[in-house]
Amino acid sequence: MATLHRNDHRTTDSGEHIHFNLRIGLDEDEKNDGNYDCHIKITDSEGNILGKYFRVFPKSKFNKIHYERFIRKFTNDIGYREKFRVQ
Protein backbone atom coordinates (compact mmCIF):
# COMPACT_ATOMS: atom_id res chain seq x y z
CA MET A 1 0.00 0.00 0.00
CA ALA A 2 1.37 3.42 -0.94
CA THR A 3 1.78 5.76 1.99
CA LEU A 4 1.52 9.51 1.88
CA HIS A 5 3.99 11.20 4.15
CA ARG A 6 4.84 14.84 3.66
CA ASN A 7 6.85 17.19 5.84
CA ASP A 8 6.71 20.96 5.47
CA HIS A 9 8.46 23.68 7.45
CA ARG A 10 7.76 27.39 7.84
CA THR A 11 9.31 30.14 9.95
CA THR A 12 7.15 32.93 11.35
CA ASP A 13 8.13 36.60 11.39
CA SER A 14 8.88 36.22 15.11
CA GLY A 15 11.35 33.39 14.46
CA GLU A 16 9.20 30.42 15.53
CA HIS A 17 9.63 27.25 13.48
CA ILE A 18 6.47 25.42 12.42
CA HIS A 19 6.80 21.77 11.42
CA PHE A 20 3.90 20.15 9.52
CA ASN A 21 3.78 16.35 9.25
CA LEU A 22 0.99 15.08 6.97
CA ARG A 23 0.25 11.36 6.66
CA ILE A 24 -2.56 8.91 6.03
CA GLY A 25 -4.71 8.40 9.11
CA LEU A 26 -4.94 4.89 10.51
CA ASP A 27 -7.55 3.29 12.75
CA GLU A 28 -6.80 0.90 15.64
CA ASP A 29 -6.21 -1.97 13.19
CA GLU A 30 -3.64 0.08 11.23
CA LYS A 31 -6.06 0.39 8.31
CA ASN A 32 -6.61 3.60 6.37
CA ASP A 33 -9.46 5.49 8.06
CA GLY A 34 -10.15 7.72 5.05
CA ASN A 35 -8.40 10.79 6.40
CA TYR A 36 -5.09 12.58 6.29
CA ASP A 37 -3.73 13.50 9.72
CA CYS A 38 -1.62 16.63 10.09
CA HIS A 39 0.53 16.81 13.22
CA ILE A 40 2.01 20.25 13.77
CA LYS A 41 4.72 21.33 16.18
CA ILE A 42 5.96 24.86 16.86
CA THR A 43 9.46 25.30 18.26
CA ASP A 44 11.68 28.21 19.14
CA SER A 45 15.12 28.75 17.60
CA GLU A 46 16.68 26.40 20.19
CA GLY A 47 14.25 23.55 19.44
CA ASN A 48 12.08 23.95 22.55
CA ILE A 49 8.48 22.94 21.85
CA LEU A 50 6.10 25.89 22.18
CA GLY A 51 2.93 24.08 21.12
CA LYS A 52 1.46 21.02 19.44
CA TYR A 53 -1.48 21.06 17.07
CA PHE A 54 -3.54 18.56 15.08
CA ARG A 55 -5.89 18.69 12.10
CA VAL A 56 -7.74 15.99 10.18
CA PHE A 57 -8.32 16.40 6.43
CA PRO A 58 -10.99 14.09 4.95
CA LYS A 59 -9.45 12.35 1.92
CA SER A 60 -12.59 13.00 -0.11
CA LYS A 61 -12.10 16.78 0.20
CA PHE A 62 -8.30 16.97 0.28
CA ASN A 63 -6.20 18.65 -2.38
CA LYS A 64 -2.78 20.27 -2.53
CA ILE A 65 -4.11 23.83 -2.93
CA HIS A 66 -6.36 23.51 0.14
CA TYR A 67 -3.49 22.10 2.21
CA GLU A 68 -1.09 24.86 1.17
CA ARG A 69 -3.70 27.52 2.02
CA PHE A 70 -4.09 25.90 5.44
CA ILE A 71 -0.31 26.06 6.00
CA ARG A 72 -0.21 29.73 4.97
CA LYS A 73 -3.16 30.70 7.21
CA PHE A 74 -1.87 28.61 10.12
CA THR A 75 1.54 30.25 9.86
CA ASN A 76 0.23 33.82 9.68
CA ASP A 77 -2.95 33.82 11.83
CA ILE A 78 -2.42 33.02 15.52
CA GLY A 79 -6.17 33.06 16.25
CA TYR A 80 -6.81 30.49 13.52
CA ARG A 81 -3.90 28.39 14.77
CA GLU A 82 -5.39 28.09 18.26
CA LYS A 83 -8.40 26.12 16.92
CA PHE A 84 -6.08 23.17 16.40
CA ARG A 85 -4.04 23.27 19.64
CA VAL A 86 -3.80 19.99 21.51
CA GLN A 87 -1.17 20.96 24.07
Domain-by-domain residue ranges, the chain? 5-84
Find the radius of gyration of the CA atoms of the chain: 13
Phi first, then psi: give them for residue 13, nearest 5 degrees: -60, -25
Query: Can you give the pLDDT of all 87 residues of the chain as single tens digits?
Result: 445 688 999 999 999 999 999 988 766 666 666 788 999 999 999 999 999 999 999 888 888 899 999 999 999 999 999 999 996
| Consecutive H or E run containing 67 | helix 64-76
